[in-house]
Amino acid sequence: MERFIRHILLLAITLTTMLPLKAQDTTTVAAMPTPTTSESTDSIEVSLLTCTPGKDMYAKFGHTALRVKNFTRGEDIVFNYGCFDYNSNNFVLKFVLGQTDYLLDDEGFDFLKYRYGMMGNGVEEQVLNLNQTEANRLFNMLLENLQPENQEYRYNWLYDNCTERARDMLEKAVDGRIEYAQVTNPDITVREMLHHCLETSPWVAFGIDLILGTEIDQKVTDRIMMFLPDVLKRESDGAHIIRADGTRVEYVIARSTVLEDTNAPEKAYTVGSPLFVFSLVLLLSMAILIYELRHRRYVMWFDVLMLICQGLAGVLVAFLFFLSEHPAVDSNWLVIIFNPIPIGYAAWLIYCRRKKRRNNLAFANLIVLAAFLITMTVCPQSFNPAMWLVEVSLLIRALAQAHFAYHRQR
C-alpha cells in the first residue's frame, strides 16, 4: 500500500505530461538562427526523429523531434516541442491543472546525440521527401515559432503534444496533403495503446487507469493515435505526399538508426505488481473479517489505514476531476469512491470507538461500495484488473463495519 501511494504521487505530474523530452530555460533561444527571407532558398534536408522510450517514468513513451540540415548555412538543428520552463511561476500547480505552457526550443544535432547516448536511448531518423520550397517553408515556420512571443503553446498530452506539433508543422509545410499509411489497428482505444507501452511498468499503467476516465476508452481516430511517437513513425514510414497538382510521392525517402538503444530490456514482473499487492490486501481483508467474526472483535486499525490510503488517492482523483484541464480526467467514474471523504470517515471510526457510539455511517458506506461494484460492470469505463481487487477489499471491510454497527459490537 505504501508503494501504491508513492507511485500515485509521482503520477500526479508524470501522467499529465506523458511525452516531454527535457526541461529547458527559455534563455537558450537567444542564439537561434534568423529567419530567411521569402526570396532566398537554402539547400535543406528535413528529418523526423523518433527517440525510443527510456526507463525513467517521464520517458516511457518516447519522443519526437524535427531535424533540419541546412547545407547552405552549415547548420544541423533539432527542433523540439517538448520543453518547459521549471522557473515559471507556480509551475507544479499549473502542471497538475493542465495549464502548462510548453516551449519550442532548438539544439545542435550533435548535442542531441550526446544526451541520448548518455541515457542509452535510441534515435531513429526518417528523411522526408520535401522539396526545397516545402523544406524552406518549414524551416521558416520553425524559426518563427522560436521567437519569444511565439515559443509557448498550451500542452495537451492527448490532442496537442510535442509529437502532434511536429506532425502538424510538417503538414502545414507540404504543398498538398500527407496520406498516412494507416498501419495501426483502428479498433483500439487510447487506454489499450497506453497499456501496450507499459507492459513492463504495471504501476504506471495502474496509475493511468486510476486518474483517466471514459474519454480514453473510445476507439481512436487515425489522427489521435499519432499522439505516440512510435505510431507517428510507423504511420509516416508508408505515407505518401499528395501534392496540390495531384502528384503522389513517398513521404519517407531514407531511414537510418542514429543511435542504438543500449538499455537492457525491462522485464515484466508479477511479485510487487498491483495485482500481486492488492491480491494480498484482499486476502488480508478476508482473513481479518474471519478473525473478527470468530472473536466478535472489530479490528479498527486496518480499516483506518485502508480509508486513509483510499482518501489520499481520492484527493488526487477528485482534484483532477474537478479542477484540471487535462483530457479524460473529468470523465473518471472512480471519483465516486476515490475522493477525500474516506479520510473524514476514518476519523469518524476513531471517534465512534472512543465515544463508544454506533457507526451509523457504515451502512451508507456499504451501499455506496456495493452500488459501485455493480456500476463497474456496466459503465463505459475500463478498469484496471487490480482495481477490482481494491473495490472488493473495500467492500469486505464495509461489510465488517456494517456488521458490527448493526450488532453494536466493539
Task: Let me know whether 289 and 247 are in one domain.
Answer: no
Q: Which of 121, 136, 137, 142 has its CA nearest to residue 79?
A: 142
180 shares its domain with 292: no
pLDDT band at 7 (very low <50, low <70, confident <90, very high): very low
Amino acid at 184: T
Residue 295: inside a domain? yes
Other CB atoms within a 10 A radius of the CB of residue 148 amount to 12
Domain annotation covers residue 169: yes
Answering whether pTM is above 0.85, one says yes
Cα radius of gyration rounded to whole Å, the chain:
26
Query: Is position 347 within any domain?
Result: yes
C-alpha distance from residue 215 to each of 113, 186, 336 (Å): 37, 16, 17
In a domain, 363, yes or no: yes
What letter does residue 53 receive in the DSSP assignment? P
Q: pLDDT category, 73, cuts 50, 70, 90?
A: very high
Tell me the residue range of the domain where 387 lies.
Answer: 274-407
Residue 212 lies in a domain: no
Q: Is residue 209 part of a domain?
A: no
Residue 6, number of CB atoms within 10 A of its CB: 11
The grid cell for 28 is 537558450
E strand or H helix at 22:
strand 22-23
pLDDT digits (tens, 9 = 90+) for 288-345: 999 999 999 999 999 999 999 999 999 999 999 999 999 999 999 999 999 999 999 9
Q: Number of folded domains in the chain?
A: 2
**Is residue 203 a contact partner of residue 273, using CB atoms and an 8 Å limit?**
yes
Q: What is the mean pLDDT of residues 79-91?
A: 80
In a domain, 254, yes or no: yes
- Where does residue 276 rank: exposed (0-12), middle (13-18), buried (19+ CB within 10 A)? middle
